[in-house]
Structure 1
């Protein structure tokens, strides 16, 4: 939200295969680490900071950030920077860390494209990625692409918020995709915790990493999972948060709720979660590192007042002065089609009004104009994407203009 106050020279740590290819850059001193103070997020100087950003998916089948077959990392980041956004929610899959830990090392991007897209299209897309991003080669791994994205974001003064989107790399989210809840088909709890630890620790080499989301859109539907309730949430999420804080005590930890992360009422109110468990900030030694996140997709809304009360009761109440747990809340996902005039409808205009009014952070879904593959369809057209199909420009300049107004209002607030 605030302008960057200080510059300093600092080498960006990159794996050797990339370091030799990438030009040396000066890392921006982004006034880290961050902390919370009641409903506010603050940088290391004590200034309030509001998340104003966009989601950049990297958790689907290929498990690298999208769009690199169409554009360079530098050009994509430059487009984000041109909007004056200050953070990117960069999603990842636990499967990537499972490969690193259990299979002798990370998968190369060349093999990742072949596995996800097949041996006909995979090599073609891989070559397109190299043409746009010549710093990569046949030895480059997926995690090294994440390093390169973080480094370029850092170079251009943009923060990184990591998000564990899925366990198995795939499009998210559904009630039957095996990634819904603790113990579901692909949701191995021990691997999940290990993956979070790994990424929190790995991210120490990114000067601009300020936070991590423990899990995206917890939801019912698990075939063999643990009971779907708040008591289970507490038993699984709190130990995971403990591990992340131990691995990297500098970063903020985002806690998501139930029902596709649309509900966090008992966390804000300190209500009984079941079995006598309650979420109370006073129980945490790292209470000043905890943030709540919510999602909202009420695209058919016709009344902003109802949306406002719903969002408030479902979690934003934590930003109020009388909540049992006064905490920052960030709307880490909201969005709508960029292909038409949805930006003028009640849902979009209400979100645009409420976020600056509440002086709270937000991250719009989604940057991607297309995906390498989504639900089996290769080169999938994403009409919700801010960018067009080939990532060369904005999909809808009128919608971007409206978004710019929201950005400016949030930054000013």
Structure 2
């Protein structure tokens, strides 16, 4: 997130990357953005940011594969990606991932919940408004995720003050059983959650699925009022391959039974910069 540019553009031309996504039979891309990219850094130039972050090798790769992007602002480059996705027939979900452009997520990263150092309510709302207005005419943009993985100390305190509900890294929507939102946004409301192998460790697949059902899959199973559910992230620790088959088989079984939409986090194979480390 620090470079505020879609990953991989130093490796391949943008149109080739999008063509690969199409070839892999995906129909939609969840494209992340930082609030500050639109509210504070909208006029910053891509090449200048890469210089500041000491990303000389990545900048050279972009110059070879996507030279026009280097002289664009971050917002223009972001829009160029959205436009290419649309040209090749892909839908786009614009994901409000963080406020300050940095790797996500931890309890203390300042991006977790209202009141955190980098989570000002008014600026978050302004960012959503700017993005919604900027992309409203693009038919490929089918939705906006209003915030990724609410979490942290302020989230817990809000629960204790009875002014909010703990969402715990997007894995718990159980409060909706007793406390509805009071609106479905003219049938445009979709709930979003995540399922990782380490987020639910109840034992068997049956037990894990029951926990996940109680947290959010019940939204797909309501008789009177069923809500669309989008699992925008799922997976397991790829450094521990032994756990992969059991998790994936369990996930696919639940996906078949409850028919929720899902996306893969993440498709790229490397990062320009992650947690202040270059070329991960």
Using the size of structure 1 for normalisation, the TM-score is: 0.63
Which of 69, 76, 99 is 1:136 aligned to?
69
Shift in Å, 1:227 = 3.4
In structure 1, C-alpha distance between the alignment counterparts of 2:172 and 2:241, rounded to whole Å: 28
Asked whether the equivalents of residues 172 and 215 of structure 2 are also in contact (C-alpha less than 8 Å), the reply is yes
Equivalent in the alignment of 1:5: none
1:361-400 CA distance string (max 9 Å, x none): 00111112111111111001xxxxxxxxxxxxxxxxxxxx
Shift in Å, 1:136 = 2.6
Equivalent in the alignment of 2:44: 107
Equivalent in the alignment of 1:401: none
In structure 1, C-alpha distance between the alignment counterparts of 2:153 and 2:175, rounded to whole Å: 21
Which of 60, 79, 84 is 2:25 aligned to?
84
Report whether the alignment pairs 1:71 with 2:71: no
1:154-183 CA distance string (max 9 Å, x none): 111110001111010000000111111101
Secondary structure of the equivalent of 1:164? strand
CA 1:342–1:154 in structure 2 vs 1: closer, same or farther (change >3 Å)? Answer: farther
Equivalent in the alignment of 2:151: 219
In structure 1, C-alpha distance between the alignment counterparts of 2:158 and 2:245, rounded to whole Å: 35
> Could you say what the CA RMSD is over the residues aligned between the two structures, in angstroms?
2.2
Equivalent in the alignment of 2:169: 260
Asked whether the equivalents of residues 332 and 363 of structure 1 are also in contact (C-alpha less than 8 Å), the reply is yes
Secondary structure of the equivalent of 1:185? coil
Which of 281, 290, 303 is 2:204 aligned to?
303
Equivalent in the alignment of 1:329: 229
Equivalent in the alignment of 1:98: 39
Shift in Å, 1:99 = 1.8
In structure 2, C-alpha distance between the alignment counterparts of 1:366 and 1:154, rounded to whole Å: 19
Which of 109, 130, 138 is 1:177 aligned to?
109
Which of 81, 103, 106 is 1:149 aligned to?
81
Shift in Å, 1:345 = 1.9
Asked whether the equivalents of residues 181 and 226 of structure 1 are also in contact (C-alpha less than 8 Å), the reply is no
Residues 9-408 of structure 1 mapped to structure 2, 5 A cutoff = 60-100=1-41, 105-115=42-52, 117-118=53-54, 122-138=55-71, 140-222=72-154, 227-229=157-159, 231-233=162-164, 258-267=167-176, 269=177, 271-272=178-179, 278-281=180-183, 284=184, 286-299=185-198, 302-322=203-223, 325-337=225-237, 341=241, 344-380=244-280
CA 1:340–1:78 in structure 2 vs 1: closer, same or farther (change >3 Å)? Answer: farther
CA 1:182–1:210 in structure 2 vs 1: closer, same or farther (change >3 Å)? Answer: same
Shift in Å, 1:137 = 4.1
In structure 2, C-alpha distance between the alignment counterparts of 1:152 and 1:89, rounded to whole Å: 14
CA 1:342–1:335 in structure 2 vs 1: closer, same or farther (change >3 Å)? Answer: farther
In structure 2, C-alpha distance between the alignment counterparts of 1:344 and 1:289, rounded to whole Å: 34
In structure 2, C-alpha distance between the alignment counterparts of 1:344 and 1:64, rounded to whole Å: 30
In structure 1, C-alpha distance between the alignment counterparts of 2:216 and 2:104, rounded to whole Å: 22
Shift in Å, 1:333 = 0.6
In structure 1, C-alpha distance between the alignment counterparts of 2:136 and 2:182, rounded to whole Å: 28
Asked whether the equivalents of residues 63 and 96 of structure 1 are also in contact (C-alpha less than 8 Å), the reply is yes
In structure 2, C-alpha distance between the alignment counterparts of 1:79 and 1:293, rounded to whole Å: 26
Asked whether the equivalents of residues 333 and 363 of structure 1 are also in contact (C-alpha less than 8 Å), the reply is yes
1:121-149 CA distance string (max 9 Å, x none): x34422311211133343x1111111111
In structure 1, C-alpha distance between the alignment counterparts of 2:93 and 2:144, rounded to whole Å: 5
Unaligned runs of 5+ in 2: none
Using the size of structure 2 for normalisation, the TM-score is: 0.91
CA 1:344–1:218 in structure 2 vs 1: closer, same or farther (change >3 Å)? Answer: closer
Asked whether the equivalents of residues 342 and 348 of structure 1 are also in contact (C-alpha less than 8 Å), the reply is no
Shift in Å, 1:344 = 4.7
Choose 343-352 or 160-169, whichever is displaced more. 343-352
